[in-house]
Structure 1
Amino acid sequence: MSFGPRLFFSSTAKIMSSVSKKFKSNPPKIGTHDGTFHCDEILACFLLKSLPDFKDAEIVRSRKDEVLNECDIVVDVGGIYDPKSSRFDHHQQSFQETFSSLRPEFGDKFDVRLSSAGLIYVHYGEEAIQEIYKQHFNEKLSERNLKVIYRKLYESLIREIDGIDNGVPMFEGEPKYTISSHLSNRVKRFLPSWEVKNVDYTAQFHKALDYVGEELVEKLVNYKSWLNARNHVVEAVENASTVHESGEILELKTFCPWKDHLQDVEKEFGIENIPKYVLFQDTDSFRVICVPNSPTSFVCRKFLHINWRGLRDEELQKCSGVEDAVFVHASGFIGGAKSREGALKMAIESLCGDYCN
C-alpha cells in the first residue's frame, strides 16, 4: 500500500505579489498612522522591513492624505484596501476579509477579520519568512515547508493579533479570567502614560518595532525544531508500506515529538485515521505506541492486544509469542521489546485482533 502526497495548499494560486521596485522615493517609505500605535501596524511594518526591497525603508507616521500619497506602501490608515496600489487598511466598513477568504487553499477555519498585520502577512508573509530563515539558517525553505510554517505562524500568532485588534472574542460568554501577557498588551507598555507630556511617540514606536520583531523572529527560529520533527513524521508516512503492507504501522528513524504533526500530515497524504501504531527506538530497546484519536487524547485508534495489557517479561513473552517482549502498559497504549523485530511483531499481532497466539 503506497501513499502519495495530497498537498493541502496546492489548489489555489498565490495571492502574494512581488513588491514593486519603482519606488516614489529613495529610500522607500512605509506609511502608517501617527499618535497611539498598536501591535498590528507595528508587526505589519516589521514584516515589510524584513523584505529586501523595504529593509532600509523609512516609516512615515501620519494621517494626512497628502503625506500618505507620497509613500510607497501604506498600512493601517487611509481607508483603502487595494493591493495593486499598495494600500492596506482594514478599518473601512466595506472590509470583511479574513485569512480564509484571501487564502482559501489553507482551509476555511481562519475566519477572523484581518488587521493590518494579517493583511500584510497574507500578501508578503511567505516572502518575509523566507528572508528571516535565510538570515538565521542560511537556507531556503522548500515550498512544502514554507506553506507549513506560513500556516503555523498565522494560526499561532498573527490570528491572535487580528482578533484582538478587531475586538473579536475568543468564545461566547464571559471568561473566568483575562490574559494580560499577550503580545498586543505588551506593546501597550511602550505607549507613554497619560500623565507624561511631550513624549516622542515615534521613538517609542521604533522601540516597540524592535520588540515585536524580536518575538516574531524567535518564534520562527523555534519553529525550526518543530519543522524538523514534522519532516521525520512525513518520512515515516512515506515509508509506511515498507514497514508493513497495511500502512498502519509507522516507524520513526529518529524519535521526536510526533503527535502534534501526524493528523496534519495524514490530511496532506490523504490517509486520515489509517496509522494505528508508531515504532521508535528508546535507548537500548524499542517501543510501539498507539496513535491517539487526537494529540491530547488518552483514547487510541487501536490499543495493543487486550490479553497482553499489564504483563511483563516472561509472562508477556509466553502470552504474546514475542520472545523479547518487555512490557505492555495496563491501558494498552504502549509496549516494548528488546529488538525492533519484537516491537514490530507486537504491532502486527495487535492489528490482527484481540486473540492470543
Structure 2
Amino acid sequence: MTRIGTSDIDVFPLALGGNVFGWTADRDTSFEILDAFHAGGGDFIDTADSYSAWVPGHEGGESERIIGEWLARRRPDGVTVATKVSQHPAHKGLSAANVRGAAEASLERLGVEAIDLYYAHFDDTETPLEETVAAFGQLVSDGLVRYTAVSNYSAERVREWVRIARELGVAEPVAVQPHYNLVHRETEDDIVPAAEELGLSLVPYFALAKGFLTGKYRSTDAAGHTSPRAEGAATYATPQGLQILDVLQRVGDAHGVSMASAALAWLRAKPTVAAPIASASKVDQVADLLAGATTDLTPQEVADLDEVSEWTPMDM
C-alpha cells in the first residue's frame, strides 16, 4: 500500500484507468475487469466526468455510471475512487458554479456520499485561480470531496494553487496527475521537483504510452491494429523507442513478468510516484497491471531503463 501525499488515503500502488469503461469495454466487460482488479488486491479507480463524451451518441459520465453500478452491486470494501472536473460537455471549465454542479453530478453517477480524490482535469485560464481553489476547498468543507488534486497543470500553476489554498486556509491538493512514462520524461524536469517541494504524490496517466510499452507496436505503421490508440502508440516505434522495448523485455524476463509490468514497475520506482494509472479493455490484461504494482526492480534495472530512455521519442 502507498500513501497519497499528505492524505490518509492508502492505496494499492496502481490505479485502474476508467477511461475505457463504456468505450472500448462495455458494461459487462467493465464489470469483469473491475472484479479481476479488486480480486487481485486493486482498490484505486481513476475516472473523469467527461469519459466517454468523445464516443458518438455519448454525453459524458458513462464511465462514472458503470463504476457506480459496480460499486452498488459489489459493495467492495476500501475502494478509493478519483474523478475529475472541467471537460464534461455540460460542465466545461472551473468556475465555482461549474465545479459544484459537476461534483454533484459525479456523486449522483457514482452513487457515493463523497468523492475520495477530486481533480481539476485541465487548467482553466479564463477563470481566476482564486475562484477555483476556493470552490474546491468548499467541496471539502461541505463533505462532498475528501481530498483535492490537479491534473495537466504546469509546475508554476501547481505552486500557485497551493499558495492560494494556504492564503485562503482551504484544503490543499494532495496529488498531481501528469503525463509520465518511459518515453515521456519531461515531467521529471518540472512537475517532480514541484511535487517533492509541496509534498504531493504523482498519479501519472499514459503510464504505458498508449500501449507502446506493452511491446505490441514495433512499427510506425499502425495498420493491422484495431485499438483506437494504435496510431498514437506506433508513433513511438522509432529506433530509439525500440531500444527501450529491448531493455524492458530483458528486465521483464528477469522478473518473469511482461514488458507492461516492467514499465509500470519502473514508474513506481521514480520519486513522488504513488500509483501509475493503466487501463484494461479486456479482463486478461488485468494480470499484467497487477504485476506492475507488485514487481520491484533492482536499482541497476531502474538505472538501465533510465539510461536507455534519456532520449525520448516525440511527444504525443
TM-score (norm 2): 0.24
**Rg comparison, structure with higher value:** 1
Query: Larger relative contact order (C-alpha < 8 A, sep ≥ 6)?
Result: 2
